[in-house]
A and B are shown apart, each in its own frame.
Chain A
Amino acid sequence: MNRSPLLQVEDLSLTFRTVDGPSRVLDGISFTVDAGERLALVGESGCGKSATVRTILGLNNPRTAFETGAIRFAGQPLLENGGRAVEKLRGERIALIVQDPVASLNPMFTIGNQMDAIIRRKGLARSASAARRIAREALAAVSISDPERLLSAYPHQISGGQAQRVIIASALLGNPELLLADEPGTALDVTVQAQTLRLMEDLAARSGTAILLITHNLGVVREFADRVCVMYAGQIVESASVADLFSSPLHPYTRALLDAVPRLGEGSRLKAIDGSVPNLTEAPSGCRFRTRCPSAMPHCAQPAPRTDVGNKHEVACWLFADRRDTQRAQP
């Protein structure tokens, strides 16, 4: 089991030039996604989750965004040569789903028309009839009961849940190796969101597609992902298997975030996190959570060491600096 990862992000930083000065929205993040794996990046607004996705896809404006570090997809570097390499991968080997499925569809064309364009662009069919057949099969695979009717419909004629299925089916056409899913289904009802996640899970498992899931919802992470990275203000503060993170969260931010989630059980007391996310043009040195952290110490102004407490559960916090490589019972 020593395969190289499908996606490898190494010490990636991203700085935007703004009128208030440079804003370092990603501050040395590293993570990997193995083939077929489901990794979640979780965090609140402005933590850099979506910036990570845009950087992987090479969608940053080169005039205002400066990237350092490395991104490798199947061993191939993506940031070199002005990010030229990713252009060939986008939509074919790396697919993207964004938050609002209805807004992702062009209101001027039928679903069939749009899927036809995707299928031909991906080179999966040459003729209109072959493309239609592939589209029909793809929609049937996402449990659309009457694909032919849906293909003739315009986006405004279908429901949000159906639009979501169309988007998932289209993204997974041609079995991409990696699917970037940025808050999928968040704009939809909770019942549809649950369906969306199940569907993505099923299809990805069938095609062996790895998923990088971007979400702010810890419940979604727990139910969907294999591993998780918790982000705060452009830094990854903790990463672990989903089982480990939810049974023993270590970083003060992770713990605070979990305490803020409303529970279904009785006597739920929500705890807010004091203070607010720092403005990244004047981000605190070292650990960026230290200005709000109840356990902050003087040396938190130095970059926090990443400590592996066992089972690839890594935490970037001085509280755990002495626990390096200590053995821990396997769950």
Chain B
Amino acid sequence: MTTPFLEIHDVSMTFRTAKRVVHALVDVDLAVGRGETLVLVGESGSGKSTLGEIVLGTLQPTGGGVVLDGRTLKPTRTKAERRRIQLVQQNPMTSLNPRQTIASSVGLPIRVHRLQPKGLVATRVEALLASVGISSEHLRRFPAVLSGGQRQRVALARALAAEPDLIVLDEPTSALDVSVQARVLELLDREQRQRGLTYIFITHDLGVARSVGTQIAVLYRGRIVEVGPAVAVFARPRHWYTVLLLSSVPVVSAAEARARPTWPSAAPAGAIDQSEGGCAFRGRCPRAIAVCNSITPPLVATDMHAVACHNPNQDVIAWPAA
């Protein structure tokens, strides 16, 4: 990755409610090259969707900013900037307007951004839908008649209609069956190659993360705890939260089960207190040491692989070839 296409610079997001202050994101620094896929993994509440919204521009960060193709994006984005970054959401049942025909939904970005002369919009819509495997008989139909997998492909066609450079995919296959998921992932991969698209792929499924990602960033309570090339993060997970995630994945082969790390269940020896500051993961960490209570570990990089841990895992995992 020589010149990053999208840079996320020290992004922080703090929500204030009457009762409390929530630090949804703290100093998140990430970059992704053109044509690559950056996967954001983490559990619910880790801030991955918030980060997606900030990239998309639907949410203003309280600190830091987003740089696209060398240009800092201002809080109010221009129409052209909005076109360049599109979104595919998790729930295909609610992301399409039920009162709009499929052709009308997919045609909307083309009309809004005047990407085709009026007479050619219909042809373009048909071609886009054909490329995601939706036949022209569905053009005049409403989303209700489509299956979940078909709707998700329509949502992807709609995102592609804007001719974007980057797509934020927020759990795009979580609501789908595995056989349907495989087809949508295949399609995403093909479109990425053909159009040189950059993806920010948000998922909680590590198997999916492994099969789509070039870069993986692991979020825990609003902070990046580990980031690096997918190969490195899976083979040498250094943060204990990454190890915990990998040890929790239910796998389908005995070979994967043997390779998968086992979570050390022994509780840390009295090193933990509940004071403010320190590492957010220390209460669940099997290798927490005294310093974890007081100092939040900084993200330290060796090669391309960075980890925020005072006492990182050193074991290497030999995954079986799939």
Chain A contacts to B: CB under 8 angstroms: 44-45, 160, 189-194, 197, 216-220, 222-224, 246-247, 256-273, 276
Contact = CB atoms under 8 A, between A and B. Distances in A.
B250 A219 contact: yes
10 contacts: A189-B44, A189-B204, A190-B205, A217-B250, A222-B251, A223-B250, A246-B252, A261-B207, A265-B259, A270-B211
Contacts of A267: 321-322
Closest 10 CB pairs of A and B: A219-B250, A262-B207, A272-B183, A263-B322, A44-B177, A265-B319, A189-B43, A272-B182, A270-B182, A273-B179
A288 to B, nearest CB: 15
Given A194-B250, A222-B252, A265-B321, 12 more contacts: A44-B179, A45-B148, A190-B43, A191-B244, A194-B247, A222-B257, A264-B234, A268-B211, A268-B322, A269-B322, A270-B186, A276-B149
A200 B35 CA distance: 44
Contacts of B259: 264-265
Contacts of A259: 182
Nearest to A253: B179
Contacts of B205: 190, 262
B298 interface: no
B214 interface: no
B147 A264 contact: no
A44 B180 CA distance: 10
A263 B249 CA distance: 10
B251 A266 contact: no
B322 A220 contact: no
Contacts of B248: 190-191, 193-194
Residues of B contacting A: mostly: helix
B252 A272 contact: no
A270 B257 CA distance: 19
Contacts of B260: 264
A218 B255 CA distance: 15
Interface centre among A217, A268, A273 (most CB of B within 10 A): A268
A258 B182 CA distance: 11
Contact of A266 (B204, B249, B321): B321
A263 B322 CA distance: 6
Contacts of B257: 222-223
Interface in B239-264: 244-257, 259-260
B37 to A, nearest CB: 14
B245 A265 contact: no
Given A193-B248, A247-B254, A265-B259, A257 B206 contact: no
B290 interface: no
Contact of A220 (B210, B250, B255): B250
Nearest to A193: B248
Interface centre among A220, A259, A265, A266 (most CB of B within 10 A): A265
A256 B177 CA distance: 13
A218 B182 CA distance: 15
B186 A272 contact: yes
B18 interface: no
Contacts of B183: 272
Given A246-B254, A264-B319, A266-B322, A216 B177 contact: yes
A258 B252 contact: yes
Interface in B291-322: 319-322
A29 B248 CA distance: 32
B243 to A, nearest CB: 11
B267 interface: no
Contacts of B185: 262, 270
A262 B208 contact: yes
Contacts of B115: none
A219 B206 CA distance: 12
Nearest to A194: B248
Contact of B256 (A45, A264, A270): A264
B250 A260 contact: no
Contacts of A224: 250
Contacts of B321: 265-267
Interface string B163-194: 00000000000000111111101100000000
Given A219-B252, A222-B252, A264 B246 contact: yes
B115 to A, nearest CB: 30
Nearest to B230: A266
B231 interface: yes
B263 to A, nearest CB: 9
